[in-house]
A and B are shown apart, each in its own frame.
Chain A
Amino acid sequence: MIFRRLGAAAAAAAALAFASPAFAVTEIQWWHAMTGANNDVIVKLANDFNVAQSDYKVIPTYKGGYADTMNAGIAAFRAGNAPHIMQVFEVGTATMMAATGAVKPVYKLMADAGEKFDPSVYLPAITGYYSTSKGEMLSFPFNSSSTVMWVNLDALKKANIAEIPKTWPQVFDDAKKLKAAGYATCGFSGSWVTWVNLEQLSAWHNVPLASKANGLDGFDTVLEFNGPLQVKHLENLVELQKDKTYDYAGRTNTGEGRFTSGECPIYLTSSAFFGNVKAQAKFNFTAAPMPYYPDVKGAPQNSIIGGASLWVMGGKSAEEYKGVAKFLTFLSDTDRQIWIHKASGYLPITKAAYAKAKEEGFYKDQPYLETPLLELTNKEPTANSRGLRLGNMVQLRDMWSEEIEQALAGKKTAKQALDAAVERGNQMLRQFEKTAVR
């Protein structure tokens, strides 16, 4: 990596030497939250860009986890030295969007910089999350994933289950069979309890999570996830928790080891879990689409994304913005997107990249890597499945998790818990609305 960096520096220095004397390289700061192999992806992208041209230099900096990176960016902005590009996880979208003036919307950036930019080349299921309801792209999707159902195929065989369950009732039945076949402590489970069981569940069944297209059309949104479908689903989980057919695995992804260790044979979590599964699972596995309730008309709809996008911060010079715009164009390149897709396991963001990866036969040996894409593009997104944008999302999720935990522990009924989650969440949304810049 040091050599690569030196190479880039040498290239930049050489470029400088040949350029006119008054010329200077414009530096572009890129703050991100990627570690391990994904950090290498980021470093390589920046270096490739720096070598490819001589006017701009992208400098990537690791700033900790998603929340840390965002807090660091916000603190830097308050201190007057924000980076040019900041990687923000999907739940931070509303906070970033509410900060008019602190961020420069991508569609505007591209227009101002005179870069060729056509929003229709991107996968709408991915860009929809980061666009206004008018289709204006606010941030640039970088790493996207979705919820899939990871299945331990050896376990299914052991329990004499012929095919992978497609619907929730099938999952419940199969989990009972699995439990009888020796998976006594956990028939099925999942991470990110609210993402899987409220947010994705609602989108997948085309029912609203909140009014105003789940908040995409305005901050005066009201939560609506205490409807019959969500209540029924939580009631099912509560019932199954009693004998551990379902076993709650925590609010975040700390329980994911229960799948790879073989304890939970069916596990719903992000498609980005792939790297760990591949490295640790000592059994045959696959990633199937999320289950659905067959009695819901039109289900399944399409899933929504997780992951992060790149936000361009406000208050920079036109020259700097030109460089940022060029960098985003550079990232949109089809071959580059395919490379990112293969190197990181995250989804390609353009239609062309997806088509080309398919053509190349990338999904032939590993069909399950296409599962999240098939889910996202299953149907044309509706107001209920385009995405969601709620202020203080990190805290909202904790609040909803608290209520779900109360229901699973038997302290509240499913209906009481979801009603309370909606009511408390609405209070928080009103609080957020008060502080959002108008």
Chain B
Amino acid sequence: MQKQAIFQSKLLPYALVAPQLAIVLIFFYWPAVQAVIQSFLLQDAFGLSTSFVWFENYLELFKEPAYFAAIVRTFAFSFAIAASSLSFALLLAVMADRPLRGSTLYRTLLIWPYAVAPPVVGVLWVFMLHPSLGVLSRYLRGMGIDWNPLLNGDQAAALIILAAAWKQISYNFLFFLAGLQSIPKSVIEAAAIDGARPMRRFWTVIFPLLSPTIFFLLVINIVYAFFDTFGIIDTMTRGGPGKATETLVYKVYTDGLLGGNLGSSAAQSVILMAIVVVLTGIQFRFVERKVTY
């Protein structure tokens, strides 16, 4: 009879996965459990007085209209960031995939923005579009547009979305390019011989074959828009003007780190975690069905 296990010792497989498990436990589960515990506590910043308050931190949040506004805003931002960076990156990838002179150079240049840290992206765009310091804002003013994201919430929101999407384009571009290059040329050539024009070839052949990449990037982009836009918001608008650019993550930061209200901040993190779990679940349950591997 053939032996099932490849490993000689029963302990060896456990030993081999132990480092990975330890990392996940220490860096994910332990902080997550801590956050859940903290969310039931009311505590001062120094941790000198602690009282157990059950769900009070959550109830306080749901009483706050600004919290719901932040949820809606976060979803709107994520959608806008993911949609714009994905579509623009796909466009760039399709163009860079064509046999061009010096295409490696273009590709390298397009990947650059990914190496820039989010706060630096924020500063970069501030220098371009700050109402008085910005280079581009002078042109906008010249065109008769009253450009002032310090007071105009819609403009500030647009600015954040623009900066966040710009940074993510390179990452998406990289994956799209790899995805495009893995599509067998013979399939496309066959479609061309059958008389399909470029647009039709793209939508009926390339796009479906690219769907696993698109699906993967969609998940990554949503997570990015939820969490990594923090640095951009902090350097560009600090959640303002009004509350026009305050997302859930930024609220966690201001309430917890600036405000010292760790209980509420922890409760918000737990809710945020739940939202992302549900979102990812939905994506895998429903969107993934449409994906052909």
A, B bound: yes
Interface residues of B in 133-188 (CB under 8 A from A): 133, 150-153
Closest residue to A438 on the B side, CB-wise?
A: B49
* B239 at interface, CB cutoff 8 A: yes
0 or 1 for each of A247-260: is its CB under 8 Å from B? (1 = yes): 11111101101100
Number of interface residues, chain A, beta carbon within 8 A: 43
| B266: A residues at CB distance < 8 A | none
* B43 at interface, CB cutoff 8 A: yes
* A100 at interface, CB cutoff 8 A: yes
A435 near B254 (CB under 8 angstroms)? Answer: no
| A248: B residues at CB distance < 8 A | 150-151
Q: Interface segment, A18-26, A153-161, A276-284, A394-402?
A: A394-402
Interface residues of A in 249-277 (CB under 8 A from B): 249-252, 254-255, 257-258, 263
| A77: B residues at CB distance < 8 A | 46-47
Interface residues of A in 402-430 (CB under 8 A from B): 402-403, 405-406, 408-409, 411, 428
B257 near A71 (CB under 8 angstroms)? Answer: yes
* B240 at interface, CB cutoff 8 A: yes
| B73: A residues at CB distance < 8 A | none
With A402-B240, A409-B153 known as contacts, the answer to whether A95 contacts B132 (CB < 8 A) is no
- Name the distance in Å between A238's Cβ and chain B's nearest Cβ: 11
Closest residue to B151 on the A side, CB-wise?
A: A409
* B261 at interface, CB cutoff 8 A: yes
A95 near B254 (CB under 8 angstroms)? Answer: no
A99 near B44 (CB under 8 angstroms)? Answer: yes
Closest residue to B243 on the A side, CB-wise?
A: A402
A395 near B44 (CB under 8 angstroms)? Answer: no
Contact of B254 among A99, A398, A409, A431 (CB under 8 A): A398
* B48 at interface, CB cutoff 8 A: yes
Contact of A435 among B49, B126, B258 (CB under 8 A): B49
0 or 1 for each of B35-67: is its CB under 8 Å from A? (1 = yes): 000000011111111000000000000000000
* A351 at interface, CB cutoff 8 A: no
Contact of A394 among B46, B241, B258 (CB under 8 A): B258
* A434 at interface, CB cutoff 8 A: yes
* A186 at interface, CB cutoff 8 A: yes
Contact of B242 among A67, A258, A405, A435 (CB under 8 A): A405
B240 near A394 (CB under 8 angstroms)? Answer: no
B132 near A251 (CB under 8 angstroms)? Answer: no
A435 near B239 (CB under 8 angstroms)? Answer: no
A437 near B259 (CB under 8 angstroms)? Answer: no
Count A-B pairs with CB separation below 8 Å.
94
Contact of A251 among B126, B133, B152, B238 (CB under 8 A): B238
* A392 at interface, CB cutoff 8 A: yes
* A78 at interface, CB cutoff 8 A: yes
- Name the distance in Å between B237's Cβ and chain A's nearest Cβ: 9
* A328 at interface, CB cutoff 8 A: no
With A101-B48, A258-B132, A394-B259 known as contacts, the answer to whether A434 contacts B42 (CB < 8 A) is yes
* B119 at interface, CB cutoff 8 A: no
0 or 1 for each of A337-353: is its CB under 8 Å from B? (1 = yes): 00000000000000000
With A402-B240, A402-B241 known as contacts, the answer to whether A102 contacts B46 (CB < 8 A) is yes
* A59 at interface, CB cutoff 8 A: no
* B255 at interface, CB cutoff 8 A: yes
With A77-B46, A99-B45, A263-B132 known as contacts, the answer to whether A251 contacts B259 (CB < 8 A) is no
- Most chain A C-beta atoms within 10 Å of own C-beta, residue among B43, B126, B132: B132
- Name the distance in Å between A131's Cβ and chain B's nearest Cβ: 21
| A35: B residues at CB distance < 8 A | none
A78 near B254 (CB under 8 angstroms)? Answer: no
* B208 at interface, CB cutoff 8 A: no
0 or 1 for each of B240-266: is its CB under 8 Å from A? (1 = yes): 111100000000001101111100000
9 additional A-B pairs beyond A67-B258, A100-B48, beta carbons within 8 Å, are A74-B45, A95-B260, A247-B131, A249-B150, A251-B238, A392-B261, A395-B255, A402-B241, A405-B241
Residues of B bordering A, CB below 8 Å = 42-49, 126, 130-133, 150-153, 238-243, 254-255, 257-261
A–B pairs, 14, beta carbons within 8 Å = A77-B46, A77-B47, A99-B45, A100-B48, A101-B48, A102-B46, A185-B132, A241-B151, A251-B240, A252-B238, A398-B254, A402-B243, A403-B242, A409-B242
**10 interchain residue pairs of minimum CB distance:** A395-B259, A405-B241, A435-B44, A99-B46, A102-B46, A409-B151, A394-B258, A392-B259, A78-B47, A437-B49
